[in-house]
Amino acid sequence: PYIYTRLIIMGKGAGRGGGARREEWPKDVKGSAFSVLSLDSDPKPPHSSSRAPPSAPRPAASSGSSSTSATSCGSDIKRLQFKQGKERQELITKYLDRSNKVCLLFLFDATSSMGPKIEFVKEQFQSMFDAVKETYGQVLIKAGVVAYRDFDQGENHTDVLDFTGNPAKLRDFLSSVKAVGGGDVAEDVFTGLEKAATLSWMKSCTNLICHVADAPCHGSAFHDLSARCDDRMSGDPKNRDIKKLLSTLFHTCRVTKYFFSHLNNSTVKMVKEFRKAAPEADWLKDDHVQNNQVLKEFICNSIISTVTVSLSTSGCARSDAKRPVSKNYPIDPKEPDWSSLSVLYGTNCEHEMLVLSALHGALADHRPLPIGKDFRMQLKIAPRPFSNEGVSRYPFYATWLDAPSGRDKSGQLVKQERKMVLKEFKYDQGYVAWVGKIDFTDVSAYLLQGEVQTVASVLAREFNQDIRCLRCPSAKEIRFPKVWVVSVRHPSGVKYYNMEQLLQAPGGATLDFVRFTNNNGAIGKEGLAHPYSDSVLAFSHYTYEKSNRCLMVTDLQGCWCQSPAGKKQFTLSDPMIHSDKYLLRSPGNFGKKGAAAFFKTHKCNDVCRALGLNPASNYVAPSDGGQGPGPSGASSSRLSSVISDKSC
């Protein structure tokens, strides 16, 4: 029998009738550790770390004696485990429910030239929303409209529809909007932005603006038009500041993304100035729309990408706190002139690759995966990231000047330069309700990222071994590159990064990076169209069954390329893991809710069948007390409805 001892540590000044009491419970027979802090008020959110499980909920005050029997202590631990899991799932469910609710504002220039575009949106908005639901089946969209004109139409020259989920109401309103006026070329865009801030934005939802216009705002600072085209060249007659207008939309209205559709080149300078004034560099996205079909795709992709951001690591970490602002690095897609950069010094380490049984043991005991020795290194880092497409981290070109490259005949270590990518989190701080406060500048955030990818890499190795004996042409191998955690001494202080080898196509060709899935069941159209996507989609299904329904690797993106050994394979990176047992400090870990969302959209393919995986239609959404979706013998149609009823 297992005998447990409850240790009560009385804080300073504690005694009968007061003080803080800390109750610490040893690991139970399954290796789950809990540390309970009992205070008169709620504790502060726990600090983010990949090396400890999240704090258990505070227990109710005890009126009896502190019994140390195995029976009572064991039942208390089980109760705490259940309560922790239940509360965590409730918080995740609430967050997913909010993220899948979308408030979309159509912000239109409604002067004479815009009539055909408004009519097109009126006729096509329902098919746009249906296209979004093909990717995110759980999305619920409310739409609003702000149609602005110019001062020649009088003081009240806007039409406004607050957010509605009634398609008929939206269609009738768009039919009532008259495209009139616009004596000069420039229009009163500022009033449109001002009116947009008055709508009933839901701060806990995914909010976005789709701005469609063919003319800039007033003021020579926003366009290169002649004075004949703008009768207010000095700027807005009400002296409104674009920085304040955009800040209100970002901070007060909690607009997640602002998308601008250029119908011609007259708005390019205006959007450039808007981006300078925006609270975040990547908050405002723009594109040139050549025709109506491209406009439709632009609006659909805007909604899908915004929901994807909300469900990402950074999106989760920004949801429940005062909205943090990203670091706003300027982007430079070109490799730097390495000869002009100084050498930096630091250290690196990596997680060890384990056999499957050892991996299970480490995760079950909530132990961090073993890490190898720290090695000194010399490197050069590009001063600016080369992309802003990642939702959570900035990527930087880097050169590892003394990378190990085997040994020579005499046994001496050979070193050479190697091109790498360093990844830095876009935000310094975050807060997630089911995790707590997260410090993205701390090494623990980067260790956790490396740990997640190492787990995915171990399971990919198992997947590759299992498909090699299959007679299935569509079964292709999958690889996750090695991830180092790097500490670099900059003149301003020490900074941490994750480091991976730079992927390069032979002969200087361009690699085609594809997002196959996200962490809430969505399957990307590009990923679905890939000729070998069956392997990637089957891999998530495989990880769930290989781990005995304890975890699932999702959020898969990467490219089909040639490995260093010359073998064609998928190289994927930055995955997420769903589990109610392991890696609970990961913000994008939605546990059984994430697994249920995957099975709601997943359709088993030839690779799934060749591996003998349970059909996706046999998986049902779990109850609150269950460990996750599990096989069932019920009919697939009935099971689909069960998943739909239980999903967020």
Mean pLDDT of the chain: 80
CATH number, domain 100-311: 3.40.50.410
Cα–Cα distance, 181 to 111 (Å, whole number):
5
Helix (H) or strand (E) holding 446: helix 443-467
Of 135-139, 608-612, 638-642, where does mean pLDDT reach its minimum?
Answer: 638-642
What pLDDT is recorded for position 16? 33
Question: What is the arithmetic mean of pLDDT over 162-170?
Answer: 94
Nearest of 624, 567, 573, 631 to residue 599 by alpha carbon: 631
Question: What is the arithmetic mean of pLDDT over 185-191?
Answer: 95
* Class of domain 338-646 as given by CATH: alpha beta
What pLDDT is recorded for position 529? 86
Q: Using the predicted structure, report yes or no on whether residue 69 has a pLDDT greater than 80.
A: no
Question: What is the arithmetic mean of pLDDT over 251-272?
Answer: 94
* Burial class of residue 232 (count of CB atoms within 10 Å of its CB; 0-12, 13-18, 19+): middle
What pLDDT is recorded for position 565? 66
Q: Using the predicted structure, report yes or no on whether residue 110 has a pLDDT greater than 70.
A: yes
Indicate the domain borders of the chain.
7-92, 100-311, 338-646
382 or 60: whose pLDDT is higher? 382
What pLDDT is recorded for position 467? 94
pLDDT category at 204 given cuts 50, 70, 90 is: confident
Cα–Cα distance, 89 to 91 (Å, whole number):
5
Q: Give one DSSP letter per residue of 300-362, joined into a string.
A: HHHHHHHHHHHHSHHHHTTSSSS------PPP--SPP-GGGSPPEEEEEEEBPP--HHHHHHH
pLDDT category at 12 given cuts 50, 70, 90 is: very low
Of 41-50, 69-78, 294-303, 447-456, where does mean pLDDT reach its minimum?
Answer: 41-50
**Bridge partners for 413 per DSSP:** 407
Question: What is the arithmetic mean of pLDDT over 619-638?
Answer: 44
* Burial class of residue 471 (count of CB atoms within 10 Å of its CB; 0-12, 13-18, 19+): exposed
